Amino acid sequence: MVGSEILLGIIMAGGRGTRLMPLTANRPKPMVPVLGRPVIDYVKDAMVAAGLSEIIVTTGYQGEQLVSHVDTWGITSRVNQEETPMGTAGSVRLLFDELNETFVVGSGDSVASFDIADLLKSHRESGAKVTMALWEVEDPTEFGIVGLSKDHQGAIESGLSEGYISKFKEKPKLEEAFSNLINAGLYIIEPEVMDLVPSGEKYDFSKQLFPDVLSRGWPMYAKTVNGIWFDVGHPFELHNAQMALVEGRDELPFPMPKGEVLPDGSFISDSAMVSGHIEKSIVLEGASVNGAVVNSVIMSNSRVEGVSESSIIGENSVIESRIQHCVIGDGLHISVDLENERR
């Protein structure tokens, strides 16, 4: 609990998830399952653990699914539906009349579990208008990177894990990268910052609002967080994220689903039925494997009679052939060999 403060958490969940198609053909990106739980639940749990008193989910694409899901959380929460896409900052700006105190914003389409209370402490001590969670990566070229200084408006210093933000750059070339610390999509914001967001316009936190805040000389702080963070923007990252979660299961701040972990790191749900070969794969609840599954994710209630290699299979699908490097959506019956396809 964050003292006796009454804090609002906002989860941005308006993403369509086009890069995850066909897995997002029938669900919004934040509802894509990871270890049997929608992605959005991970950041929700982090907010609840920090004692946030209310959570509002901003959504657009297939928002009705999120309304139904949020109703199951059992906490003070609701969904604010966008009529048209407003961008990250624009979607939060729609809640302007409710943003009277410090508030927390998180992305609903990445697997994240942070100590938000610790980030709030740093925010208060730094006097920042915005504090950002950072994550360290080996290759920063697909992300927005952040340069830090020990001093407000100071020069970038290497080797810092936290400090005042001096510079941003979106998706740098490798030779342009002055940092391997990336924006992890979780922010603590003072309400006056939202005055800078034009009402009724599509507006982005990373590309527009935060550079504006920095250019005005307002203090922005950032801290590299411990915990868990995975971007699941591409289908095959769903495999990597879930394998890593299984590997770190003893340190997770949330419960793992019940199941067996094999020596190679594969996970088989207690309710799955497996008589075939499993290798470096995730087999979720109600799925069955009579064939072979290698480097794949088999979502709930799907059945593999053939072979799945380096593939992601959605829910309630049947694979009777050999598929390689494929992404198969929900409710499909595949009986021909496929390679490098999305169905």
Q: What is the three-state SS of 143-166?
A: CEEEEEECCCCCCCCCCCCEEEEE
Return the amino acid letter for 125: E
**pLDDT less than 50: residues of the chain:** 1, 3-4
pLDDT confidence of residue 16: 75
State what percent of residues in the chain have pLDDT above 90: 75
Domain spanning 8-231: which CATH class is it, in words? alpha beta
Domain boundaries, given as residue ranges, for the chain: 8-231, 258-339
68/239 Cα distance (integer angstroms) = 26
pLDDT tens sequence across 22-74: 999 988 899 999 998 999 999 999 999 899 989 999 998 777 889 999 999 98
pTM of the model: 0.92
pLDDT confidence of residue 91: 94
